[in-house]
Chains A and B, each alone.
Chain A
């Protein structure tokens, strides 16, 4: 089974609208961390947001929020008021267990913001 599943290969969203990028994960470890990274066309990986499995509240970072539904094993990224500069690939990733240095990445979602 895939550890991280991103079911939306591509999305087109009108500028200034909110957008939700889906991510589901699979782990039996009670301790894990979930991440979202952005990869613009220039290629670098940019950290957006982090959610720990024991965190009680959904993580937020500016226009980014993580809709963490533990029972459903989903960690969707919500971008409010989208901007043209949000056009990029978005990767969901997971670290399982304490002291595990491996991040498992999903295959990504290409988001295109339409003016």
Chain B
């Protein structure tokens, strides 16, 4: 029962460094998402994907890139890290709408990123 797996759990970056946050799900979900959560705030959508090869921008995409080469994986790339990108990052997925369960998102456990 792995669900949505994110790595790493914690990371400290220096300003200007780059890194990739990994996200994989084993539920064969079509839809995948990246959210960020700033301290004391709700989540904001960075990017999402409705299937392999298809990605689209969310509310706060600047400074990030994504790719979706397989159904399982949806990595988030940070280029030229900035202090404003210090946040907790959540990956999530869901199947095509199931009316009985609502449009429930399955979340990973998060990646806490600090840019210093």
Contact = CB atoms under 8 A, between A and B. Distances in A.
Nearest to A110: B40
Contacts of B44: 105
Given A33-B103, A52-B102, A43 B45 contact: no
Interface string A13-30: 000000000000000000
A4 B103 contact: no
B103 A95 contact: yes
A33 B107 contact: no
Given A43-B109, A44-B107, A44-B110, A103 B43 contact: yes
Contacts of B108: 44
Interface size range of chain A in the complex:
20 to 34
Interface size range of chain B in the complex:
20 to 34
A107 B102 contact: no
Given A45-B92, A91-B42, A91-B43, A103 B105 contact: yes
A47 interface: yes
B114 to A, nearest CB: 15
Interface in A48-95: 49-52, 59, 91, 93, 95
Contacts of A107: 40-42
Interface of A: 4, 33, 35, 42-47, 49-52, 59, 91, 93, 95, 101-108
14 contacts: A35-B103, A43-B88, A44-B107, A45-B90, A45-B105, A50-B101, A50-B102, A52-B102, A59-B102, A101-B33, A101-B50, A102-B59, A107-B41, A108-B40
Those 10 A-B pairs whose CB atoms lie nearest each other, nearest first: A50-B102, A105-B42, A45-B107, A47-B104, A105-B43, A101-B48, A44-B109, A102-B45, A43-B110, A106-B42
